[in-house]
Each structure stands twice: as C-alpha cells, then as structure tokens.
Amino acid sequence: MAIDLDAYLKRIGYEGPRDQTLPVLRQLHERHPQAIAFDSLDPWLGRPVGLDLPTLGAKLVAGRRGGYCYEHNTLMWSALTALGFEVQGLSARVLYSTPPGGGRHPRNHMLMKVETPEGPHVADVGFGGLTLTGPLRLEADVIQQTPHERVRLSRAGADWVLQVETGDTWRAMYQFGLEEHIAPDYEVANYYMSTHPRSPFVVRLVAARPLPGRRLALANNQMSVHHVNGPTEKRTIECVDELERVLVEDFGIALPDDPRLAAKFREVVEAI
C-alpha cells in the first residue's frame, strides 16, 4: 500500500515543492523529527511494533504518536519514494554508548541512502537524542553542519562511521556499510529490539525531540534540555501528572490508550 503523502506532509508541516532535489530532502529531514518524536512507549508497554504502512500511518501520522528508528525511517522512506526519490535501506552498529574496546553491537539501527542531483546522501530521522536534523553528503572527512550539531563521516575499512561534535569532542554515533537492506531484514531486527528483555527500549521509557536551538531528551523520569552550543538543563520528574504533561506538551506525543500506562508511569516516578 502507498503512503498517504498529503497526510504525512501535513503532519510534519511541509507545504513546499515536491521535486527530487536536495533542498526538498533537507526540508523534510529537518521537519520530520521536530514534528514526530522519538519514543519507546510501545516496546516499554509490551505492545507490538508494526512496520507496515497502514500501521505506521495510523500511529505516527493520524494518531500523532512517536516511535523509534524502524518506524521513523520506514515512514520517511515511503514518503521519499512517493516523491520520486531513489532510496536504499541501510543498517548500522550503534557505537555511541559503547566504550572503546567494549565489543561490537549487531546491526540493529536503520538508516537510508538517498540519491540527489548532488550525489548520494545519508538520511536518518530516528536516532533518539542525537537524531540527525539534516541529510549528510556521503563523503569522508568533511565537517558538515546540520540545523543542530556539526557532524562528519569517516571510513573504517569498507564501512562508514558517523561522528557528532559534542562540546569540544567528536563522538562516534554508529558504523554502517552500504549493503542494501530490505523490509524482511528490518522485521527481524525490529522484533528483537521491541521484545527482547534486555532491549533498551523494553526496559526503560525513552523520548527525544529536536527543536530549534535545542534538543529534549527523557530517560525514565530524567528530563534534559540540551541547548545547541550551550548548557544542558536537567531535572527529575517526580509525579505522574508531570510525566504525562511533558510527554504530551513538550514532546508532542498523543499517549496510547492503554490500561497499563498509569501503572508504568507510577513505577518510573516512584523509583527515585
């Protein structure tokens, strides 16, 4: 089934041209993660995470919910394809939270390669607290400015490594190859990440949203506001009502109608 392109573009607040150009890709890439939050609510609640277009449309577009990498990037892939872009699915090993020498993660993060008249670009609207807000030219060792941080790509043998500048430090986000990945590849990884008892999305509540000049991040009841080129504000959310308000008003998430939600929220705030 095809995506409801008009509904998607309205959801992210885009009213511009619909041609296959880099400026269009940049606009979509900036608007998508600001309009549709990253969140782990469904895995955290033990709810299934579907990647078919009807499910994604009902949840992220019509339902004004958030989601994680497989949902975000599958949805944007479908929109870009409907606009006429040539898109290829990729997969990455997450490095951001792994200390040097700490072992290798499986390829369990989804991203895309998008062809433009200026050449291939990497697109990824689903990497949590450091989700890209602009596409990256597939070129090594060149610093590229996004609407938020500066980033760069480097080579690691046949692979590429995405790095982000945080303060005065460059940190590796993930490592990826250019081997094509298709829907069944993501279905397997999605099932694992949404159901395995040690998945970070199953064991804790996570939400993230970039906004102009800042990023919002929530880990259980710990709220952070990271200002671009500025300080980070942190606070602890101590009651259920405030946790609900933050998710709805700050992250823009329409909470699911699930009888387990209130109890899960209480667990989080009472674990202080």
**Quick one: CA torsion of 93, 189, 40, 114, rounded to 10 degrees?**
60
Residues noted as catalytic = 69, 109, 124
Q: Which one, of 192, 225, 199, lies nearest residue 211 by Cα? A: 225
SS3 label, residue 63 = coil
pLDDT tens string 219-263? 999 999 999 989 999 999 999 999 999 999 999 999 999 999 999
CA distance 44 to 196: 11
Q: β-pairing, 38-39 with 206-211?
A: antiparallel
In whole angstroms, give the CA distance from residue 158 to residue 155.
7
In this structure, what token pair is assigned to residue 241? 């009502």
CA separation for the pair 164, 153 (Å, rounded): 9
Look at residue 178 and tell me whether its pLDDT is greater than 90: yes
**Burial classification of residue 120, based on how many CB atoms lie within 10 Å of its CB (0-12 exposed, 13-18 middle, 19 or more buried):** middle
pLDDT value at residue 113: 98
Phi, psi at residue 186, to the nearest 5°?
A: -75, -30
Instruction: Tell which phi-psi region holds residue 264, choosing left (phi > 0), alpha (psi between -120 and 50) or beta.
Output: alpha
Q: Mean pLDDT over residues 160-185, rounded? A: 95
Express as a percent the part of the chain with pLDDT over 70: 96
Q: b or e along 166-203 (b: 16 or more beta carbons within 10 Å of the residue's beta carbon)?
A: eeeeeebbbbbbeeebeeeebeebbeebbeeeebbbbe
pLDDT confidence band for 15 (50 / 70 / 90): very high
Please give the helix or strand (H or E) that residue 211 lies within, else none: strand 206-211
Residue 155 has pLDDT above 80, yes or no: yes
Average pLDDT, the chain: 95
Q: Where are the domains of the chain?
A: 5-35+70-176
Contacts of 136 (CB under 8 A, 6+ apart): 121, 122, 144, 146, 151, 153, 162
Structure-token pair, residue 43: 């895995």
Q: Right CATH number for 5-35+70-176 from 3.40.50.300, 3.20.20.150, 2.40.128.150, 3.40.50.2300?
A: 2.40.128.150
Q: In this predicted model, what pLDDT tens digit does every residue of 37-75 receive, in sequence order?
A: 999 999 999 999 999 999 999 999 999 999 999 999 999
As given in the structure block, the two tokens for residue 259 are 């009888």
- Residue 124's pLDDT is what? 98
Quote the pLDDT of residue 218.
98
Q: How much is the pLDDT for 99?
A: 56
Mean pLDDT of 193-205: 96
Q: What angle do CA 258, 261, 263 make, to 5 degrees?
A: 135
pLDDT at 96 over 90: no
Quote the pLDDT of residue 98. Answer: 65
pLDDT mean over 106-110 = 93
Residue 2's pLDDT is 83
